[in-house]
Structure 1
Amino acid sequence: MTYNKYAGLCADMLRAALKEPAKTKAKAREAIYYRSAVWENGQPTKQVITDITEGTSGKLS
């Protein structure tokens, strides 16, 4: 298990333990986006924005 997976798991458990309305506010901030680019001949050709929020909660693998 990497540190990032461990930190994500801890964050998921903490958000699950919160009471309302703090739980709703924390859930709204958990969105994860990253931008990547395909490079050809030293120049970026296409940028892709990816949302990896769905399907990451509670998984250990």
Structure 2
Amino acid sequence: MRDDLKAARKNANLIPEIRDDLKATKKNTEASLDEIKGLREDIQPGYAMNFRQIQADVRAIKDRLGMP
């Protein structure tokens, strides 16, 4: 137990550095998430168009096969 306390006291000076690293990581993560959200917004309209085309193709195939 005493060894643990000694180790904790010895490394206590690293806590501010770790805190700063965590803040920087959080900012970087938030920036990455914002960029990903922007990319998703750019891609989604294309998905809707492709999905409509697939639905039309499936409908045409079903009509040819006489399926409801």
Q: Above 0.5 in TM-score? A: no
TM-score, normalised relative to structure 1: 0.30
Larger radius of gyration: 2
Give the number of the structure with larger relative contact order, counting CA–CA contacts within 8 Å between residues 6 or more apart. 1
TM-score, normalised relative to structure 2: 0.27
Q: Which structure has more strand as a fraction of its residues?
A: 1
